[in-house]
């Protein structure tokens, strides 16, 4: 998915609300215009990953305030380093489960086999602290996406079990966990073919180092496979010019994709997006990177992302994030 539903964006800030910390400031640091949340719109994955990380850092808790005890930021990276010496997925999962059960009693985990299937399961020790079930869904996603990333292919789930009732955003869960969904189960469970446990781990130490820089905050936003139409379009644009964003016309893009313009319009609409939304998302992410990390001026960034003047860029940036470029950079410093 290139976007995350509004429910997950709002519910991830439950810990902030419980502690009386400002949600708007967290949204602004993540580059999310609060007006987008109020309108119920979906939010781009890059923004959501930044929001998750912002919440974790504000609370100094990788569990984001959904458990009795804080989970110190950096624990996921420690676990990832521990399992980096494993050779198979089964060994990785067994070691990861053992690690988390040693350091925390808040989310007890199990890994076992049932016939030809492997089952990775957990419960929330204090489920009342997770009233909207965000942490349950977040933890399920992490333990599907992280192992999938390590073996270089999405693990095909057969069943996904949830301890809670079927929610209003069930359609979102059907996209996140393409499998048979079961609700009101005794534990949250991922069920998949046990043959995956014998799969070799293919990632290098360098790849793992890059992966854990923002993990686990951005793991929920990593799709099982990067083959969506939006991802294809972003790759095409990103490779045109390494120095700046250069956007082709919709007709040229359709030709590049081997589609008619009408078909491209239709498929983008079916994916609840548009070429303009994709361009805006790319501009926003490049702008934030160049402003906050590369410390470039507004004028330099405006040119890089395809604006002819700084004023137009500043207006667009405020529309995307709710802040002017200058104010956003001050918040980040």
DSSP string, 46-66: HHHHHHHHHHHHHHT-TTTT-
Distance separating alpha carbons of residues 114 and 9, to the nearest angstrom: 35
Ranges of beta strands (E only) in 127-187 are 157-161, 180-182
C-alpha pair distances (Å), 92 with each of 83, 122, 131, 196, 292? 5, 17, 31, 12, 36
Give the pLDDT of residue 63. Answer: 96
For the chain, list the domains and their CATH numbers. 3-206+209-221 (no CATH), 229-332 (1.10.10.60)
Give the pLDDT of residue 223. Answer: 47
Give the pLDDT of residue 76. Answer: 94
Close Cβ partners of 284 (under 8 Å, ≥ 6 residues apart):
31, 44, 47, 317, 320, 321
Distance separating alpha carbons of residues 128 and 14, to the nearest angstrom: 12
Give the pLDDT of residue 2. Answer: 63
How many CA atoms within 13 Å lie on the side-chain side of 234? 18
Give the pLDDT of residue 231. Answer: 78
Give the pLDDT of residue 221. Answer: 56
Closest CA to 48 of 60, 30, 34, 74: 30
Give the pLDDT of residue 296. Answer: 93
Give, for all 333 residues of the chain, the pLDDT tens digit. Answer: 467 888 999 999 999 999 999 999 999 899 999 888 888 888 888 888 899 999 999 999 999 999 999 999 999 999 999 999 999 999 999 999 999 999 999 999 999 999 999 999 999 999 999 999 999 999 999 999 999 999 988 899 999 999 999 999 998 898 889 899 999 999 999 999 999 999 999 999 998 988 888 777 667 655 444 557 887 898 899 888 888 999 999 999 999 999 999 999 999 988 778 999 899 989 988 999 889 888 999 999 999 999 999 999 999 999 998 889 999 888 766
Distance separating alpha carbons of residues 138 and 71, to the nearest angstrom: 14
Dihedral angle, C-alpha 9, 12, 13, 16, nearest 10 °: -170
Reduced 3-state DSSP string for 76-114 = HHHHHHHHCCCCEHHHHHHHHHHHHHHHCCCCCEEEEEE
Which residues on adjacent β-strands are paired with residue 117? Answer: 114, 193
Residue 34: count of CB within 10 angstroms of its CB: 15
Distance separating alpha carbons of residues 320 and 299, to the nearest angstrom: 17
Question: How many Å from the N-terminal Cα to the C-terminal Cα in the chain?
Answer: 31
SS3 271: coil
Q: Which helix H or strand E contains 205, and what residues bound it?
A: helix 205-211
Give the pLDDT of residue 220. Answer: 62
């Amino acid at each position: 998915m290139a976007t995350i539903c509004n429910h997950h964006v709002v519910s991830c800030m439950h810990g902030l609300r419980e502690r009386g910390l400002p949600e708007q400031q967290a949204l602004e640091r993540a580059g999310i215009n609060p007006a987008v949340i109020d309108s119920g719109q979906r939010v781009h994955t890059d923004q959501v990953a930044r929001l998750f990380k912002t919440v974790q850092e504000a609370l100094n808790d990788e569990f984001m305030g959904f458990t009795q005890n804080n989970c110190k930021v950096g624990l996921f990276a420690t676990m990832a380093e521990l399992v980096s010496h494993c050779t198979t997925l089964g060994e990785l999962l067994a070691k990861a489960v053992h690690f988390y059960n040693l350091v925390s009693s808040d989310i007890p985990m199990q890994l076992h086999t049932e016939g030809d299937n492997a089952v990775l399961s957990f419960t929330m020790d204090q489920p009342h602290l997770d009233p909207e079930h965000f942490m349950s869904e977040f933890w399920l996603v992490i333990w599907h996406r992280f192992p999938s990333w390590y073996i270089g292919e999405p693990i095909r789930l057969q069943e996904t079990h949830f301890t809670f009732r079927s929610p209003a955003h069930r359609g979102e869960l059907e996209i996140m966990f393409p499998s048979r969904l079961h609700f009101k189960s005794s534990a949250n469970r991922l069920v998949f073919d046990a043959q995956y446990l014998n799969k070799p781990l293919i990632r290098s130490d360098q790849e793992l180092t890059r992966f854990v820089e923002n993990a686990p905050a951005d793991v929920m936003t990593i799709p099982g496979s990067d083959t969506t139409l939006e991802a294809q379009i972003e790759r095409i644009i990103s490779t045109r010019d390494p120095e700046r964003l250069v956007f082709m016309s919709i007709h040229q893009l359709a030709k590049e994709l081997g589609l008619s313009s009408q078909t491209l319009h239709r498929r983008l609409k079916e994916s609840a997006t548009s070429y303009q939304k994709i361009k805006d998302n790319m501009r926003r992410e490049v702008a934030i990177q160049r402003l906050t990390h590369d410390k470039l001026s507004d004028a330099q960034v405006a040119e890089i992302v395809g604006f002819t003047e700084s004023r137009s860029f500043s207006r667009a940036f405020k529309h995307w994030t709710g802040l002017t470029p200058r104010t956003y950079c001050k918040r980040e410093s």
